[in-house]
Chain A
Amino acid sequence: MSNPTLISPSSPLKRIMNAVRAVEAGNYVPGLLSDLEHDSGELGQLAHMLDAMARNVSIRDHQLRLLRKVIPIGVALSAEKDYNRLLETLVVEAQFFTNADAGTLYILEDNALKFVILRNTSLDMAMGGTSGAEIPFYPVKLYKPDGSENRANVVSHAALTHKRINIADAYEADGFDFSGTKAFDARTKYRSKSFLAIPLENTDNKVIGVLQLINAKNADTGEIIPFKDDDVLEALVLLATAALDGYIREASLRQEIAKLKIEINESRRTRQVAEITETRYFQELKDKANQLRDQSRNKK
């Protein structure tokens, strides 16, 4: 039995043990032991093996996440008709995988981005979706009253340019005017910092909505950090696009059902009937009608 006090905190062995714990805890960062791996001795080999193993574990972990989360959502998407709930699930999962404090899903309608789902963990807000709470915010217009593009918001910017926006701090970002985003923050008493706004494009390359994630947090420190690329997130974005597409189709069907209104212009109806029934031909026909029917009936 080795006495732990004999191992100095910065010793290679201690670091390898810490790395093993990190693997166990699921927060191993690849390359953690890279300097040790250069060691040609047994410790170097051990560090190298551990790193390789940890990478495999994280890939498997990743695959498991895909398997456990994304695939069931995909399956639900093909069976489920409650698109509203699916969209909510997708926003929640996207928040989860990116560790984002807030997530919003917008739908593009009449040149404006309307809120469909809004969730903000630190403000304890959950609106739209299954929450039953209406979202009280005005849609973000894509164009200003003078017809020019409105790029003052992160989301309208993303929808107009068809480009993702991934910025560490919206307030400091060069080349963007995010006054609208700041105004929104002022209203909601929030400080949006890191942003990931993803335009959702359908198969015709038409933007049908935007998924916005705000304030990714470091899992340990809670510090707000920039968003990173993530395969699972990509899968969720694809699913969100499909679900939003379904949501739009369903909404348009619902509208049509509501539209089965049979409208008849009664004064025109009276006039049109009179135009026919006041002809001589019609009068004669009417006089003969019953007689004609009786003839055919009694003929046999």
Chain B
Amino acid sequence: MSTIISIHSFRGGTGKSNTTANIAALLAADGARVGVVDTDIQSPGIHVLFNLDESEMVHSLNDYLWGKCAIEEAAHDVAAHLGAEVKGQIFLIPSSIKPGEIARILREGYDVGLLNDGFRDVVEKLKLDYLLIDTHPGLNEETLLSIAISNALVIILRPDSQDYQGTAVTVDVARKLDVPKMLMLVNKVPPQFDLEDVRTRVEQTYDATVAAVLPHSDEMMTLASSGIFAIRFPDHPITKGLRKLVDQLKA
């Protein structure tokens, strides 16, 4: 049985891609076979975290959506890119980073239903235990689809007034789609906040489980998405928080 997990936030820059990559690494460290799809077609980014160079990208999600390849042909084995041995496997399906291809898919659109087929195919073909979906902020059709097919949804927010309203809408929409498991992750919390207090307030406001509250971290800033935090800083409080999140996703 495989589990599909969407990682989402209403606003951009909350840490979706970093969280997705770290969840993947932690799951793979425990021996799981993990797929990661970058559905942020407009502004792809997660390939950077896995050190996947443009020259190494054979096929992308765009090629699949245009019928140029099967979904598994766009999956790149990136376990060796982590900078540490992992027991399991990680396959990344990147979105194209070629400006022309991004422009084309935005202009022409694509059949969102194909995404669903692709997700199912890749889970089956690569015998995945988990499929992680890194999303584009907001609530567009592909995000709604991702949420609809997910067994678990991680909603990220920052303690920032700009995040609160949209997050409330996201939570309600996800509830209407009957997502079996919804976990919230509060990220980039400035040092002057009390993490437990933040957790309580967020849980009360959204009536949802907060899996972890992660502090803003200079190490994360300095790493600047050039690697996977949980691997570089295995004992850091952020890594501990991410582990808690992973444990709850597995439970």
Which A residues are in CB contact (< 8 Å) with B123?
296, 299-300
From residue 198 to 224 of chain B, which have CB atoms closer than 8 A to chain A? 198, 201-202, 205
Question: Cβ of B194: which chain A residues have Cβ within 8 Å of it?
Answer: 257
B50 smallest CB distance to A (angstroms): 23
Of B124, B141, B165, the residue contacting A264 (CB under 8 A) is: B165
Contact of B120 with A299 in the complex, beta carbons under 8 Å: yes
Cα-based distance from A173 to B141 in the complex (angstroms)? 77
- Judged by a CB distance under 8 angstroms, whether A273 is at the interface is yes
The interface bits of chain A over 282-300 (1 if a CB of B lies within 8 angstroms of the residue's CB, else 0) are 1001101110110111111
Query: Is there an interface contact between B119 and A277, defined as CB atoms closer than 8 Å?
Result: no
Q: Do the beta carbons of A285 and B164 come within 8 Å of each other?
A: no
Answer whether A276 and B159 are a contact pair too, CB < 8 Å, given A286-B176, A289-B148, A299-B124: no
Asked whether A269 and B169 contact (CB < 8 A) given A260-B193, A262-B205, the answer is: yes
Q: Does B177 contact A (CB under 8 A)?
A: yes
Asked whether A293 lies within 8 Å of B159 as measured between CB atoms, the reply is no
**Does B247 have its Cβ within 8 Å of any Cβ on chain A?**
no
Of the listed residues B150, B176, B197, the one surrounded by the most CB atoms of chain A closer than 10 A to its CB is B176
B176 A277 Cβ-Cβ under 8 A: yes
Decide if A296 touches B198 in the complex (CB within 8 Å): no
Is B192 on the interface with A (CB-CB < 8 A)? Answer: yes
Task: With both chains docked as a complex, state the minimum distance between the C-beta of B221 and any C-beta of chain A, in angstroms.
Answer: 19
Minimal beta-carbon separation of A260 from chain B (angstroms): 6
Assess whether A263 is in contact with B120, with CB atoms less than 8 Å apart. no
- Contact indicator A269/B173 (Cβ below 8 Å): no
Contact B177 A264, beta carbon cutoff 8 Å: no
**A260 and B201 contacting across the interface, CB-CB below 8 Å:** yes
In the complex, what's the smallest C-beta–C-beta distance from B204 to chain A, in angstroms?
9
Contacts of A53 in B (CB 8 A): none
| B197 & A260 in contact (Cβ 8 Å cutoff) | yes
Q: Is A22 an interface residue (CB 8 A)?
A: no
What is the distance, in angstroms, from A197's C-beta to the closest C-beta of chain B? 33
Indicate if the CB atoms of B190 and A256 lie closer than 8 Å: yes
The answer to whether the Cβ of A268 comes within 8 Å of any Cβ in the partner chain is yes
Report how far A269 CA is from B170 CA in the complex, Å. Answer: 10
Most buried by A among B116, B177, B180: B177
Q: Are A292 and B149 in contact (CB under 8 A)?
A: yes
Determine if B148 and A292 form an interchain contact, defined as CB atoms under 8 angstroms apart: yes
- Given known A264-B205, A295-B120, A297-B1, contact A282–B144 (CB-CB < 8 A): yes
Which residues from A are CB-within-8-Å of B202? 262
Measured CA separation A73–B84 after assembly (Å): 49
Interface of B is mostly: helix
Q: Smallest Cβ distance from A251 to chain B, in angstroms?
A: 11
The binding surface of chain A is classed by DSSP as helix
- B139:A276 contact, CB within 8 angstroms: yes
Residues of B within 8 A of A265 (CB): 165
Query: Does A285 contact B145, Cβ atoms closer than 8 Å?
Result: yes
Among B123, B124, B168, residue most surrounded by chain A Cβ atoms (within 10 Å): B168
Chain A residues whose CB sits within 8 angstroms of the CB of B180 once the complex forms: 293
Given A260-B197, A262-B202, CB of A289 within 8 Å of CB of B177: yes
- Asked whether A281 lies within 8 Å of B149 as measured between CB atoms, the reply is no
Interface pair A285/B177, CB less than 8 Å apart:
yes
Contact present for A257 and B192 (CB under 8 Å): yes
Residues of B contacting A2 in the complex (Cβ-Cβ under 8 angstroms) = none
CB <8 Å contact, B148 and A286: yes
Q: A76 on the interface (CB 8 Å rule)?
A: no
- By a CB distance below 8 angstroms, the chain A residues around B148 are 285-286, 288-289, 292-293
Q: B169–A272 contact, CB under 8 A? A: yes
Interface presence of B172 (CB below 8 A) = yes
Task: Specify which chain B residues have a CB less than 8 angstroms from the CB of A262 in the assembled complex.
Answer: 164, 201-202, 205
Taking CB atoms, residues of chain B closer than 8 Å to A282 are 144, 176
Contacts of A289 in B (CB 8 A): 148-149, 177-178
Q: Does any Cβ of B come within 8 Å of A253's Cβ?
A: yes
Does B4 interact with chain A (Cβ within 8 Å)?
yes
* The 3 residue pairs across chains A and B that have the minimum distance between CB atoms: A289-B148, A253-B192, A292-B149
Question: Beyond A296-B151, A297-B151: 17 further Cβ-contacts under 8 Å?
Answer: A254-B192, A260-B159, A260-B197, A262-B201, A264-B165, A272-B165, A276-B139, A276-B144, A276-B173, A277-B176, A281-B141, A286-B177, A288-B148, A289-B177, A295-B120, A296-B120, A296-B131
- Between A and B, 14 residue pairs with Cβ closer than 8 Å are A256-B192, A256-B193, A263-B164, A269-B165, A272-B169, A273-B176, A285-B144, A285-B145, A285-B148, A289-B149, A295-B120, A296-B2, A296-B4, A296-B151
- B interface residues with partner A (beta carbon < 8 Å): 1-4, 116, 119-120, 123-124, 127, 131, 139, 141, 144-145, 148-151, 159, 161, 164-165, 168-169, 172-173, 176-178, 180, 190, 192-194, 197-198, 201-202, 205
